[in-house]
Amino acid sequence: MALYAIGDPHLSLGSSKPMDVFGGAWTGYVEKLKKGFEGIGQEDTVVLCGDISWGMSLAESKEDFAFLNALPGQKIILKGNHDYWWATASKMERFFEENGFSSFRILHNNCHAYGEFALCGTRGWFFEEDMKAQNQKVFNRELLRLETSLKAAGEREILCFLHYPPCYQGYRCEPILALLEAYGVSRCYYGHLHGASTRLALQGKQNGVDYRLISADYVNFRPEKICD
């Protein structure tokens, strides 16, 4: 049994936004992702750090979830900024059950135990968003969701999963960084960054937290192993 993480699969099997149009690493990315899961066992767990499907609704995302469900391993999913299909937990769970998608669990206002670890997280926030009044409300909700998740960890060692990077060259999301440090998060995994922007990502330990970028094109569409 092992734990893995990957972000940003950006699947579009039931909609019209295939990432192949960007060329480079994204050419043939669906097959690359399928191949990247070949070393994962059915008993393993993979955290998907957002931007899972381009579908605008659960119905439009059905083919993407069918593809992911057929891949080996249990999947823990969290929301990305492009996951417009995201609904309430009850609606998503009903959708998964009705379609026989049994490998998904949701990380949202909660945490999941994995041995001695607590798997916590939320979407997060990023400097590219305009901090107008309505966006400040969204940001405040993200802070509440993150702290709710961290509080649920109890005495376990905390691994945190975000979609947005909490720190980037020239930018620091201080409220999120403060929460990670206050709750003693040992490792933080995040996605969202692609292509040339990955060169500016925070990697390695800072103030006691070890940060890792795991967006799909950065890890060559192969989930990164975290622990056994």
CA distance 96 to 215: 24
Calpha distance 226→49 (Å, rounded)? 14
How many distinct structural domains can be found in the chain? 1
CA–CA gap between residue 88 and residue 19 (Å, rounded): 27
**The domain spanning residue 191 has which CATH number?**
3.60.21.10
- Dihedral Cα 217, 219, 220, 222, nearest 10 deg: -120
Which mean pLDDT values do the consecutive 10-residue runs of the chain (228 residues) have?
97 85 87 97 97 97 98 98 96 98 98 97 77 76 96 97 91 92 98 92 93 97 96
Taking the C-alpha atoms of residue 64 and residue 95, their distance in angstroms, rounded to an integer, is 13
What is the rounded distance in angstroms from the CA atom of residue 189 to the CA atom of residue 226?
Answer: 10
Decide if 33 contacts 216 (C-beta within 8 A). Answer: yes
The residue range of the domain holding 189 is 3-227
The amino acid occupying position 131 is M
User: What local confidence, expressed as pLDDT, does residue 202 receive?
Assistant: 87
108: helix, coil or strand? Answer: coil
